[in-house]
Structure formats: structure tokens, C-alpha cells
Structure 1
Amino acid sequence: MSSVTPVHLGFLVFPGFPMAALTSAIEPLRAANEIAGKTAFSWTVIGEEDGPLNASANVVFQPDQILDDAEGLDYIFLLSSPQGGFENPRKGNGRLRHLVRHGSAIGAVSGGIFPLAASGLMDDRLTSTHWCYKAAFQTEFPELECSDDVLVIDRGRYTASGAAAMFDMMLKLIDEQLGSSVMTEVACWFQHPLVRAEGVQQSVPAFKTDGLAQDTPRPIARAITLFSENLENPLPIGDVAAEVGVSVRQLERGFRQVLNQSPLQYYRTLRMNAARQMVIYSRDSLTEIAQSVGYVSSSTLARHYREAFGVTPNEERRRANRFRVEDNRPLPSV
């Protein structure tokens, strides 16, 4: 199953990249080499230009080489915060296209999908998008199709929603290269209890509760899905109740039992969380953000936003921008 030449992976890191995603990629590969007793995988950490950069925990990190010097990569993965991107987009994106033309598979983890999508190399491809970035990503790249799966592989494009999903992606590569026994031992080394493949959806918090959305009763879970899919044009609660096969009163009772709030309150929470993603991670105006989550005016959005988060959208955006400039801290990094 193994090849004579090691599979070589490049990890292109941008300022603010999530360190957990990098270690979740490299550590299983290191373990696979050790278990197999040979160098089946090699890797290089790449920067756009020479010099150190700050990772998500404000740790200074020195890449091994610059992107211009990267050659012979079997895979290249982009690691970034959602705000990450090339200082010189024309040169950087051209270099990525060069690598792909010469046989490199390309992918991204967590916020790295933003610069990868901006390169044009995800056009007509499905991408795994972390739930906390999804609204912002769809706003910036409305032509691209997002998936809630933890990882997606689509015709030479490898995307993972977050650090744990990146570990799963590496397990898949280990399985292909060294077989299932080595892959399983790697998973056990790191006490990785569940090996997730394509088609497994992300776990998404049911806001205001300690449970997860898949743990809720079927009518409530279905209502949550309808709410999530209809943020821009909110549905009447009566229509949602009819769609999930219960009365409005039953839906109200179910939401209060499971989520300790009404369906309307929960719906607003979803809309506020989507708005917050766009406030922090996009450059859209407040009017555009308001319209995208079903508000006619930005003033109504701002009032509800303040009730939900204790700050106005403008205050939140100024604070996020200050962190990026002063501390290089993406909010959040997963």
C-alpha cells in the first residue's frame, strides 16, 4: 500500500492561523511514520514570504520555506483565520494555481477556506464550512456550495471544517497510504475515539442549552433546521409548526421544555448569531447584514443585537478590528 517516495504535504499558514489545526495535521502523520517504521509522510510549513508570523494563540511561528520555493507537493493545505489572505493576492493565487497545474491536490481547514475560495480554486466544488463561519462565508462567496459535513473531498479539493476534522482527514490519508491497521493505531495513540469519514455532519450547538441539535426530539430538531435554512426570509411560527406536524402550542411547549425559550426567541438567536458572524468576519454594511438575516432596517437589527450581545454591531466590529491590528487574534479560531 505504501509508495517508495514519501507523500509530501505543504501547510501554507497565514497570520492568525489556528495552531490546533496544524498540530492535528502533523502529529498523526508523525505517529504513522513511527508506527510504520519508515517515512511514509513528510511535510513542510510554508509562508507567503520569509519571516515569522503570529499564530492564533499569539505564538510567534517561523515557516520552513516561502511559497515561491514550494515544489513537488502532493498536497497543500491552507491554514488561516477567516480574515486571512495573501499580501500579494495576484502572486499568491498564481502560485497556488501553478502547484495545482503541476499535480498538487489542494485543500483548507477552518478559516483557510476563505483564502482558498478567494483564489478561485474552489469554483464548482463543494466545500466543508465550519458552522461558526458559514454565514460569513456564504455572504462573501454566494456562488460556492457549502456543506455541513466535517470533511469534504471533491475532485482534488480537500476541505475540513476544523482541527478535529483535520485529524480525520489525515487518518484518511494514512489509511490510503499505510492501511487500516496503522490508521487505527494512530487514532488509538491519540485517543481519537471516532474516525469520521465523508458524509458525517458537524455537531452544532443548540444555543442556550448544553445539548446538541441531534439530541433534541425530531419535531424540534426539524424546526431548528427550518429556522436555520430561512434566516433571510423568516417563516411564521405557524407555518413551521405545520411543516413539522405539530400544533403551535405543542411546538411552543417543546421548545420551552428542551431549550427553555420560545420558538420565536430561538429563531431570533439564530439570526443574531448569523449576523454576528458577518459583523466580525465580513465587510458587509449593516444594512446588508440586516437584510441577510431578515430585518428591514439596520436600526432594528442593532437594537436586537445589543440585547443579545451587550454591544452594538458597530462597537463589536470596532473591537474585533482592534484585536486584529494590535494582537493578531482572530475571533474565534477553530
Structure 2
Amino acid sequence: MEQATISVGFLLFHGFPMACLTSMIEPLRAANEISNTRTFAWRLLSEEGGTLTASAHVDFETDALGAPGEDYIFVLSSPTATFRTSATPAHLRAFHRHGGTLGAVSGGVFPLVKAQVVGAHRIAVHWCYRAAFDAQFPDLAASDQVLEIADTVMTAAGAAAAFDLALHLIEDRLGPAIAAEVACWFQHPMMRRGDVVQAIPVAEAATALPPLAARAVALMTADMANPITVGQAAARLGISPRHMERAFKAATGLGPTRYFRKIRMEAARQIVLYTNDPIAKIAGQVGYGSTQTFAKHYEDAFGMTPAQDRKRINLYRVEGNLPVPSL
């Protein structure tokens, strides 16, 4: 019996991460070749059709979003992508309402959420965008998993996770043997599912810290807008502030106050770069009552004030028509 063709649309925005696109298309192509079928077909879509430029400055020709219909539509974009027309989110809502499956990879979760289609579904958000996502969508369930797969909404937190998402589609339609062979073709070591936490650079990961320091970081970052003091964290852990100081110095070379400031600054930079929130609001989101103190600490961390950093990135976007960075 001939396998029915599954049509996949990739809705692209200027500056979309090219690796995320190829990480989905290539496994689907390989699955067709290995199974000697035309199980998967795909189209590149955009809001109005025409040429779009990827983050790697490579141009892609696209069809305008619309008929013929797809079974799946995956949004690929930077986190700063905006809809050019209200017809696009309306089309996505109608597609979803009539049984189509929507998804997004990396920064594509931002326009997907703005289209008001995700409902109560958990969203896999790349760690690099997590603070900006939480700032824009505080009521949504962001996830630190590499994949979040439901019947009608699928999200992947980056290019490698997009490959896993493609393997999931292949396994669902052609079985685990074909999915395993596709993974072997590309020397993809394993098919990750929805219970795998994203890898984060070791220097930034609280999970890489000794247990005592990791628990302290969890306490101090639980509500970044209303941070507790080192003394309060130590009291909750049943240790002295001096003991916590020694633990952090041994593990990181920094005291807990400076380490926590580093985490706050990294979160703040995401919000500065990937939202339009006023600087004063961002200061409050990471626990600063004084915008001046926030700006000073930001400049100490990154060599420029938040306003200068945002201006620099926005200038690049205007001149190059590209977001920075796109993952």
C-alpha cells in the first residue's frame, strides 16, 4: 500500500536560522530515499512570498503562505521577528483550528506564541532566549526541554533539536527502524525525546556547580525581580553566610553576590536584545530598584550600557536586515 504524502511547510522570516531549516529537511529527504517512498514533501513559505535571507546571508525563494494546505507548518525565525500583516496569524489560527499541526524551532516560538495558537501547551524555549521569553510571555509554560511534542503543537529548542523533531515525524510515519537508519546516516548519536533537558555552557549552568552552590543559585533566581539576600539564602540552607561564601569561591572563583549579579546581567541582556521593554522595566525584572545602578553593573559586565547595547544591535539589524544572534 502506497504511503500517503505528508506535506510540511516551513514558514520563514528574514534572518531565520538556516541550520534549523536544513536540520529538518535533510532527515525528511533521507527518510524518503531510505524507504523508497515520497512520504514527506515540503515547501518554503513566507508571508508574501519571494526571496528571504537567512542568518547566514543565504537567499531562499519562498511561496506565499496560503493554499495549497500543509499537514504541518513550522515557524523558523529570530526572536525579534514580527508579522508584516495580520493575515498571517489569522491563517495560522485557522490552520490550527481545522486540524493542522503547528510548530516552531528556536526563535520561531516567539511569533508562534504571538499568533495565539499555543494555548496551554508547554513551549521548548532555547536557553539563550529564556529570559526574554519569560519577560514577554510571563503566563506561558516555558520549558527547558529540547523538545515539547503534543498532538497539534510541536516546538524544538535549536537546530540539533530540530533534527530530533524530524526523526519524531519519521518514526511516527515510517517506524523506528527507518528513523534509526536516518539518524545513522547523519551520525546523529541518538533520537532525543521530550524528556531531555537542554545543554547549557558549563560556566553558566547551576547544575555544574556543587550541590550546595546549585541550591543557593536556585533560591536566589527563583524570583529574580524580588531577589533574596545572601544571608537569607544561607539561612534557608541552614548554613552561615561565610560558609556559602567559601563554597562559591571554591566552585566559581566568585562570591555568591557577584555570581548572582552575573546571572542577572545575562538575563537582562537577553531582555535588552530581544524585547522592546524600557530599560527601567528591565532593571526591575532583574531585581534593581535603581536604573543607574543597573546600567553601571551592565556596563561593567558588557562594556556598554543597556541603551548603547540595544542601539548597537538595532543599528546592525537596520543595516544588515538581520537579527543578532539567530540560533
Q: TM-score range by the shorter chain?
A: over 0.9
- Taking a change above 3 Å as real, the CA distance of residues 202 and 163 of structure 1, as seen in their structure-2 partners, is same
The corresponding residue for 1:309 is: 302
The corresponding residue for 1:250 is: 243
- Cα distance per residue 1:233-259 (max 9 Å; x no partner): 111113323444544333322322222
The corresponding residue for 2:80 is: 83
Q: Which runs of 5+ in 1 are unaligned?
A: none
Q: State the SS of the aligned residue for 2:148.
A: strand
What's the CA shift for 1:229?
2.4
What's the CA shift for 1:3?
6.8
Q: Does the 8 Å contact 2:209/2:251 carry over to 1?
A: yes
- TM-score scaled to structure 2, two decimals? 0.95
The corresponding residue for 2:8 is: 9
1:102-181 matched pairs, under 5 angstroms: 102-181=98-177
- TM-score scaled to structure 1, two decimals? 0.93
The corresponding residue for 1:230 is: 223
Identity %: 46
Q: Does the 8 Å contact 1:12/1:45 carry over to 2?
A: yes
The corresponding residue for 1:66 is: 64
Q: Does the 8 Å contact 2:105/2:157 carry over to 1?
A: yes
The corresponding residue for 2:191 is: 195
Q: Which runs of 5+ in 2 are unaligned?
A: none
Q: CA RMSD in A?
A: 1.7
> Which one-letter code corresponds to 1:249 in the other structure?
R
Q: Distance in 1 between matches of 2:133 and 2:294?
A: 20
Q: Does the 8 Å contact 1:203/1:213 carry over to 2?
A: no
Q: Distance in 1 between matches of 2:285 and 2:71?
A: 39
Q: Distance in 2 between matches of 1:31 and 1:272?
A: 43
Q: Does 1:333 align with 2:326?
A: yes
Q: Could you list the structure 1 runs, at least 4 aligned residues long, displaced by more than 4 angstroms after superposition.
A: none
Q: Does the 8 Å contact 2:109/2:155 carry over to 1?
A: yes
- Taking a change above 3 Å as real, the CA distance of residues 219 and 85 of structure 1, as seen in their structure-2 partners, is same
Q: State the SS of the aligned residue for 2:287.
A: coil
Q: State the SS of the aligned residue for 1:58.
A: coil
- Taking a change above 3 Å as real, the CA distance of residues 3 and 119 of structure 1, as seen in their structure-2 partners, is farther
> Which one-letter code corresponds to 1:67 in the other structure?
L
- Taking a change above 3 Å as real, the CA distance of residues 156 and 297 of structure 1, as seen in their structure-2 partners, is same
Q: Does 1:268 align with 2:261?
A: yes
- Taking a change above 3 Å as real, the CA distance of residues 261 and 99 of structure 1, as seen in their structure-2 partners, is same
Q: Distance in 1 between matches of 2:220 and 2:128?
A: 16
Q: Does the 8 Å contact 2:220/2:229 carry over to 1?
A: no
The corresponding residue for 2:41 is: 42
Q: Does the 8 Å contact 1:56/1:328 carry over to 2?
A: no
- Taking a change above 3 Å as real, the CA distance of residues 245 and 86 of structure 1, as seen in their structure-2 partners, is same
> Which one-letter code corresponds to 1:105 in the other structure?
T
